Amino acid sequence: MKILVTGFNALAIGTAKSPLNIATSARILPKVLEELGHDVTQKAIIPGEDVSMYDKVFVFVFGPNSLSARYWYGAAYTITKRPDAIISIDDWQTKDSVSGFGTFSRGHWRIWKKESKAGNPVGKVYWDEAQQYKKEIEDLVDTFAFEKWPHKLLVPAYDGGNYETLGMSANEIVNWDPTPYTDSYFQNNSGQQDLLADYSPVRVKDNAWVVASLVSKQGWLKNQKFNWKVKTYGNIKEGQERLKEHEMFQEYRKNWGVVSPPHYHTQLGSGWWRVRYKMAYDAGSIVYAHPEESKILYGKEFNISDIEKCSKEELKDIFNLQARNFKEKTWTRERTKDFFKCMLE
């Protein structure tokens, strides 16, 4: 098949530079489709371009009012011309995506403004080309703001999650698990295997917790009662070091504990997919997460005090239990390929 993958931002159209080498579903999906033998084109669409030539179309949707949604005119045009398009999401801030459509719907003039209140360019490309399709794009915004999306919505999430907590309504919501195609943390920033890295089992791990988040999670962390040292990474505004993904993986390997701070919907049991769990699995480390998130993958809650009082052998037992449940819960490559074979029929 000829398949188009496009979307609102640079990540969705395959042009985003990734200094941190973070794995995302928008990066992984085209690889899966190519492995199935399809002719995949991932790019920005210019309004007016012929999108009828593609057998299937995937559009990654993001908040259209976001600064990073530079290519959304073309993506919106694509959806209007391909009502059979499969809509997907890649960012966990799902309520911001929906509210972004609401902001534009409550004032259509906002869709077309070229400058911010401060006089800075908004940076949306293909404004001129989109004018011919103004009415269709405005109607699409209204639908996505306040109605059920008339599409299949593909979300990166584990089996058993409550996907309604994402705050999105669509004709059909289906999940897929990118876990078996997650490998960027084994590679350096050029996408090549990091030959200088050591992937052998760590003989002595520190009794410490590692927290990595690009956004602030200090409010939640302060409510947790850690006795082990807590090492935080990712948020520059809080003075934390920001590591590349393969460097973060090495940090996980050195420590027993990996903390997964919740998103607002994961603590409601959304089941949102996170590369961190696979990294912890490969690093041989234990994960502590919100109980509503933890039980989806591990079948039970693991609390801080029970973990921190364990001996080395007991810590190994906890990891082995988590690892066994994680492996049983997450998809294999064959299941992932079978899923998309069925979707594309």
- Residue 147: is its pLDDT beyond 80? yes
What is the token pair recorded at 295?
Answer: 């039980």
**CATH fold of the domain at 2-177+333-343:** Rossmann fold (3.40.50)
At 333 the pLDDT is: 96
At 82 the pLDDT is: 98
- Residue 319: is its pLDDT beyond 70? yes
At 252 the pLDDT is: 94
Does domain 186-329 fall into CATH 3.40.50?
yes
Average pLDDT over residues 175-200: 73
pLDDT, tens digit, 9 for 90 and up, residues 104-140: 999 999 999 998 888 888 899 999 999 999 999 999 9
Residue 319's identity, in one-letter code, is: F
Distances (CA, A) of 164 to 156, 240, 269: 13, 34, 10
Continuous segment of H or E residues that includes residue 338: helix 333-343
Higher pLDDT, 202 or 278: 278
At 113 the pLDDT is: 95
What b/e readout covers 133-164, taking b as 16+ CB neighbours within 10 angstroms? beebbbebbbbbbeeebebbbbbbbbeebebe
Calculate helix-pair angle for 333-343, 25-35, nearest 10 degrees.
80
At 190 the pLDDT is: 56
At 194 the pLDDT is: 57
What is the overall mean pLDDT for the chain?
Answer: 92
CA dihedral 41, 43, 45, 50 (to 10 degrees): -20
**Within the chain, how many helices (H) and strands (E) appear?**
14, 10
At 246 the pLDDT is: 86
Quote helix, strand, coil % in the chain, to nearest 5.
40, 20, 40
At 269 the pLDDT is: 96
At 193 the pLDDT is: 59
| Distance between CA atoms of residues 5 and 82, nearest Å | 12
**In the chain, ranges of CATH 3.40.50 domains:** 2-177+333-343, 186-329
| Distance between CA atoms of residues 343 and 26, nearest Å | 17
Sort 171 into a burial class: Cβ within 10 Å, 0-12 / 13-18 / 19+. exposed
| Distance between CA atoms of residues 207 and 229, nearest Å | 7
- Residue 68: is its pLDDT beyond 70? yes
| Distance between CA atoms of residues 112 and 295, nearest Å | 45
Higher pLDDT, 218 or 327: 327
pLDDT, tens digit, 9 for 90 and up, residues 282-317: 999 999 999 999 999 999 889 999 999 999 999 999
Strands in the chain per DSSP E: 2-7, 39-42, 56-60, 86-88, 149-156, 170-176, 206-212, 229-233, 255-260, 286-289
| Distance between CA atoms of residues 295 and 302, nearest Å | 9
At 239 the pLDDT is: 85
Per-residue pLDDT band at 203 (split at 50, 70, 90): confident
**Distance from chain centroid for Cα 237:** 22
| Distance between CA atoms of residues 311 and 288, nearest Å | 17
